[in-house]
Structure 1
């Protein structure tokens, strides 16, 4: 947390940047107000990188265009009806929005847009006090009508208006509260948490696309666990990812010291740590994080109590993969993400058979083939799934997976395992056997693929001989 003085210094340096000072002068010369608002002001106090600069003004959209057109390389309507104009000034993109005092009808989260007349009135309608601060330009005066600085110092998340009114107007703000909890490391105030509990059903008026967008932003934060816990504690998760709170009462037979819910959060934490360790410069991997969070959601549906009181979750990997695909489709995630997350969940237990006996080269090839382009994510998910407190057991599993990755690398170097294909393609199969496209070609292809996985590269001559033998036996049969 930066001091107020150092934050003001950072903001002053930003305000004096040529393109911003030029913009501020243009509005002042035209007799209009201009202020830097929202995230950049907040982040100046938090010592975070300043980007995505948003400005607000008393000028209406048409007047904004009149002011920026002479100094901008280009400008465009982002949403003129909502009061927002975009422009590029000296190579920098800015967005300028007219002061607003919106009114909500209580049925949807879309407000009746009403332009306001004061900066203070615009600020108090915003989602959280820490986002309701502004820097007037060009005079560089901080405006904070709701005590945002005090909340920043206390690292708390509060709303400018009463929380139940704010969330009743726009229920999506409740999901933002969870995201900011993780993104900023803040704690919501008691009244915010109570309003989230009371108004959780209001999420039903939010589109699936909006929900998935906020959920994705939450999972891409450095530490999403706190936000997910808030969603579960307040009941919001029941309307977003109901499979996650359903895990709380399910005791995992492999991890007697914690329930499946806590285990899943730990797997998510560990997957993120491994993701950063193995790919330090990569963007947050949403697919991996979804798979880590949801990898055990098949357990409630497969829980059985066997003789002697032993609890089992047979086939929870397969069931969980189907549940994850259904949930992610309902949230309008793209097809690639749905398919990849589902596949990772389906495969997340495959490795644990490796520790029960040495896998043949054939088994290793199948592991790679089945993982396909998800192999690296599967490596991370499988390692993250070890949450036992038994150090000896954890070390044994880690060493076993080290060994598996070493074998994959060796086989890959020998025969390019990642692109395992039969020694003959479909055209060659049809030519050799004198058959037309159809089911028999597919069966022949699978026969050759199994040979390839079991025995490695055969070469075209040997593959031809084995294929002819296979076909002759089938024909004779």
Structure 2
């Protein structure tokens, strides 16, 4: 970990609005400090886009101090001591020193304003976020040794972990998130408190848990964060399907450790993400979460065969349903939920190709079914190979190389990513002289299936095929 840069360097790298604002508060007779994540990030060699400040001024005094300087102010967080403002391109939050208490049945604080910066820092989640820079002189205030904890790579709390997590149980999720984002560990006492108090996460809203989970999955080391959730029991509550992957290994070791396999698939999927200009820019939550969840249907479908082998038939379909249910419980949006579930459902499709090869029709269906998820499906399928048998791994890799080559060749001949029937719904209704309804949908699906099987045909052939199909439908006799 880097040390805090010198005041001269900080003056050069930090936005000038920080110093302008600090001087205004000092001139008004108040203290102002840059606090929390922005200070932590300076130790990590980066400048945070967030600008959070804490002050001895009350909300009214803050408004008076920035009057005529800020371009705009907002008082939505006034009851919690926070005044938001905009200066140029910067959005800034200034919060009065706090010394909050919490209702044990809720994560909402009972707001009490404090008088000292050190007291305000004590109420923060972790020591690495309980550092401040007094302005405008840039004096570091670090009463709880956050810089030391950051340098040794440990997450600690300013007070006792049990008190911190009792006050705000979401901090347990944040601990796992920071383990992932920063590639660091949590102190033993923090891990113990998380284990003992995991059940308190139930009072946190699903939306807040979801937001922390997304940040964890998108971190540089999500395996560390997920392991922490599983080991402490938090995953039993917020992501129980992942905890359930720790299947009991049968005595003959005839199936993989599904949990460790899933974490390896996640890591391998991350390595296949593209840069910002590529098809799957890193970090890609949909790909990563699908990689983690792709085998969650296995515990429910595990079967010991008479031969002693272990099977997981249809775990892909079962898993897709489980993913939908879990993501809906966590209040994910519909598009993200559908995308992850679809990848889980399709992740086994390739193995039929690897075993016997596919017709052009099957290749078309693979592309059609994947739709705009095709690039992610390529990466998920390749990541799912974790065997130590090099010959088997090479065979699967070669087979998928061949499949991608064939997709490319057929795509050159057809617009496979947007395969549609050769006639649209309006043309179907006009040709058959029918009104909108289920029959149109059936005709459309017939033409789509024909298109996938045989490739594109000209308009006359499509009309002829449609009329032939229509002659066999019971509705045709009613006209």
State the partner residue of 2:396: 397
After superposition, the Cα gap between the structure-2 partners of 1:233 and 1:8, relative to the gap in structure 1 and judged at 3 Å, is: farther
* More off after superposition, 166-175 vs 367-376: 367-376
Unaligned runs of 5+ in 2: none
After superposition, the Cα gap between the structure-2 partners of 1:380 and 1:53, relative to the gap in structure 1 and judged at 3 Å, is: same
Contact 1:252 1:258 in 2 (8 A): no
1:361 has 2:363 as partner: no
* More off after superposition, 95-104 vs 257-266: 257-266
Given candidates 240, 243, 248, the residue that maps to 1:242 is 240
C-alpha distance in structure 1 between counterparts of 2:453 and 2:374, whole Å: 20
1:385 has 2:377 as partner: no
Give the 3-state SS of the residue equivalent to 2:196 in structure 1. helix
Given candidates 94, 100, 103, the residue that maps to 2:101 is 103
Deviations 1:256-275 (A, max 9, x none): 57400000001111111101
Give the 3-state SS of the residue equivalent to 1:181 in structure 2. helix
State the partner residue of 2:3: 3
C-alpha distance in structure 1 between counterparts of 2:16 and 2:175, whole Å: 35
State the partner residue of 1:45: 43
C-alpha distance in structure 2 between counterparts of 1:31 and 1:438, whole Å: 73
C-alpha distance in structure 2 between counterparts of 1:223 and 1:7, whole Å: 30
Give the 3-state SS of the residue equivalent to 1:244 in structure 2. helix
* More off after superposition, 115-124 vs 275-284: 275-284
C-alpha distance in structure 2 between counterparts of 1:394 and 1:8, whole Å: 54
Counterpart mapping for 1:387-466 below 5 A: 387-466=386-465
* More off after superposition, 195-204 vs 375-384: 375-384
State the partner residue of 2:61: 63
* More off after superposition, 387-396 vs 466-475: 466-475
Give the 3-state SS of the residue equivalent to 1:166 in structure 2. helix
State the partner residue of 1:20: 18
After superposition, the Cα gap between the structure-2 partners of 1:287 and 1:197, relative to the gap in structure 1 and judged at 3 Å, is: same
Contact 2:255 2:310 in 1 (8 A): no
C-alpha distance in structure 1 between counterparts of 2:369 and 2:249, whole Å: 29
Deviations 1:263-316 (A, max 9, x none): 000111111110136938835211111111111000000011111111100000
Given candidates 78, 81, 90, the residue that maps to 1:80 is 78
1:196 has 2:198 as partner: no
Unaligned runs of 5+ in 1: none
RMSD: 2.0
| Matched length | 474
* More off after superposition, 60-69 vs 49-58: 49-58
After superposition, the Cα gap between the structure-2 partners of 1:83 and 1:322, relative to the gap in structure 1 and judged at 3 Å, is: same
Instruction: Give 1:171 deviation, angstroms.
Output: 0.4
C-alpha distance in structure 2 between counterparts of 1:62 and 1:224, whole Å: 42
State the partner residue of 1:134: 132
C-alpha distance in structure 2 between counterparts of 1:257 and 1:68, whole Å: 65
After superposition, the Cα gap between the structure-2 partners of 1:14 and 1:281, relative to the gap in structure 1 and judged at 3 Å, is: farther
C-alpha distance in structure 1 between counterparts of 2:250 and 2:274, whole Å: 27
Give the 3-state SS of the residue equivalent to 1:23 in structure 2. helix
Instruction: Give 1:250 deviation, angstroms.
Output: 5.1
State the partner residue of 1:226: 224
1:153 has 2:146 as partner: no
Contact 2:183 2:220 in 1 (8 A): no
After superposition, the Cα gap between the structure-2 partners of 1:453 and 1:281, relative to the gap in structure 1 and judged at 3 Å, is: closer
Contact 2:273 2:280 in 1 (8 A): no
C-alpha distance in structure 1 between counterparts of 2:330 and 2:117, whole Å: 36
Give the 3-state SS of the residue equivalent to 2:157 in structure 1. coil
C-alpha distance in structure 2 between counterparts of 1:91 and 1:458, whole Å: 55
Instruction: Give 1:13 deviation, angstroms.
Output: 3.4
Give the 3-state SS of the residue equivalent to 2:133 in structure 1. strand
Counterpart mapping for 1:325-364 below 5 A: 325-364=324-363
Give the 3-state SS of the residue equivalent to 1:127 in structure 2. coil
C-alpha distance in structure 2 between counterparts of 1:177 and 1:230, whole Å: 9
TM-score normalised according to structure 2 size:
0.95
Contact 2:280 2:376 in 1 (8 A): no
* More off after superposition, 320-329 vs 272-281: 272-281
Instruction: Give 1:164 deviation, angstroms.
Output: 0.5
After superposition, the Cα gap between the structure-2 partners of 1:141 and 1:25, relative to the gap in structure 1 and judged at 3 Å, is: same
* More off after superposition, 413-422 vs 441-450: 441-450
1:164 has 2:136 as partner: no
